[in-house]
Amino acid sequence: MNLLFWGLTIGAAGKILLGVGVLIAHSKLVHEETINYLVLKSYRTEHLLTVTGLILIVVGYGMEIHFYDFVQMLTCSGSDCALTATAILSQ
């Protein structure tokens, strides 16, 4: 398993956590029909899952960028960029 696999996996886990967090909080609100302790607790859980999901998305993105070696693209100039882009796109 390589860095791309882990980057995609972590990114997908972050997106899933975001979706689960939103679904949990909104389903509690629908079933309770009032804002009370249970609803507030579910919103705290949603907040935690959302922040964790966002962190995983950013980490996964960084892993993908590092895997494809796009960091070189930020510092190249002239014909070096064309050669680097061709090498990256041919992978």
pLDDT digit string, tens, across residues 15-28: 888 888 877 877 77
Query: Alpha helix (H) ranges present in 1-91?
Result: 3-32, 37-67, 71-75, 79-89
- Measured distance CA(54)–CA(16) in Å, rounded: 10
- Measured distance CA(10)–CA(13) in Å, rounded: 5
**Is residue 66 very low, low, confident or very high in pLDDT (cuts 50, 70, 90)?**
confident
* pLDDT for position 86: 66
**Is residue 72 very low, low, confident or very high in pLDDT (cuts 50, 70, 90)?**
low
| Nearest CA among 23, 27, 28, 18 for reference residue 48 | 18
Over residues 67-91, the mean pLDDT reads 65
Rg (CA), the chain: 20
- What percent of the chain stands above pLDDT 70? 70
Which positions ≥6 away from 24 have C-beta within 8 Å? Answer: 42, 45, 46, 49
